[in-house]
Amino acid sequence: MTDESLVNMYMKGNDSAFDVLMKRYESKVFSYILYSVKNQELAEDLFQDVFVKVVVRLRNGKYQENGKFQAWLMRVAHNLLIDHFRKEPEENIISKDETEVDLFNDPSLAVNENREQEMISQQLIADVKHLISRLPENQRQVLTMRYYDELSFKEIAELTNCSINTALGRMRYALINLKKMAKDIA
């Protein structure tokens, strides 16, 4: 049976279908987690957390059927590991060395923020810009002038040939629409 048919069976209430999926991927997921954390007990805990998250997401319909269950499952495991390492970054330094000192992973020696944080920031900025581009033109214009050009509402009103109240209203609706679009994505 394919992963997708097993997922569909599970989502329709067949719990044994999930058992088949779990048996199919448990070794791969557990190996990945153990390799990352290098601690048997912690790996077992995280492994359980992964499958709990998968069960909850499947039950809540948060899985998009696209023939890539394995990739989705590994992404859930990867994200859980990222969350784990983010909670206690200094205690969770990964090293391939067996020595006490690991200069490559010592956060106190870092010049800039770590690459992961930089990538998250870049993605967040790209997501916000995309949402802003979907706003109506007059709302996008006011929001851009206010936050990017740092203009006052009086200046915005003069440049857009409208009243201050209209500029304030456009800003308010822009923020409401951004929140709504962000919720729809999440």
Do 87 and 17 belong together in one domain? yes
Do 26 and 69 belong together in one domain? yes
Do 99 and 25 belong together in one domain? yes
Q: Which residues contact 171 (CB under 8 A, 6 or more apart)?
A: 139, 142, 143, 146, 153
Q: Which residues contact 177 (CB under 8 A, 6 or more apart)?
A: 135, 136, 139
- Interatomic CA distance for residues 108 and 90, integer angstroms: 9
Provide the pLDDT for residue 97. 52
Do 135 and 102 belong together in one domain? no
Do 24 and 41 belong together in one domain? yes
Do 77 and 131 belong together in one domain? no
Asked whether the predicted pLDDT for residue 92 surpasses 50, the reply is no
Do 21 and 52 belong together in one domain? yes
Provide the pLDDT for residue 34. 92
Do 9 and 91 belong together in one domain? yes
User: Which of 122-157 are b and which e, b meaning 16 or more Cβ less than 10 Å from the residue's Cβ?
Assistant: eeeeeeeeebbeebeebbbbbbebbeeeebebeebb
Do 120 and 100 belong together in one domain? no
Instruction: Kindly report the average pLDDT of the chain as a whole number.
Output: 81
Phi, psi of 42 (to 5 degrees): -65, -40
Do 80 and 130 belong together in one domain? no
Q: Give 106's pLDDT tier (boundaries 50, 70, 90).
A: low
Asked whether the predicted pLDDT for residue 134 surpasses 70, the reply is yes
What is the domain-level CATH number for residue 82?
1.10.1740.10
The dihedral formed by the CA atoms of 60, 185, 66 and 44, expressed in degrees to the nearest 10 = -60
Task: Please say which residue of 109, 129, 148 terminates a domain.
Answer: 109
Q: Which residues contact 55 (CB under 8 A, 6 or more apart)?
A: 18
CB 132 within 8 A of CB 142: no
And the tokens for 136? 């109506």
What is the domain-level CATH number for residue 174?
1.10.10.10
pLDDT tens-digit series, residues 42-89: 999 999 999 899 888 888 878 877 768 888 899 899 999 998 888 865
Domain that holds residue 162: 115-185
Do 79 and 160 belong together in one domain? no
Do 63 and 8 belong together in one domain? yes
Task: Please say which residue of 109, 131, 165 terminates a domain.
Answer: 109
- Interatomic CA distance for residues 102 and 94, integer angstroms: 9
- Is-above-0.85 flag for pTM? no
And the tokens for 142? 């006011």
pLDDT tens-digit series, residues 139-160: 888 888 887 777 888 888 888 8
Task: Please say which residue of 57, 85, 109 terminates a domain.
Answer: 109
Number of domains in the chain: 2
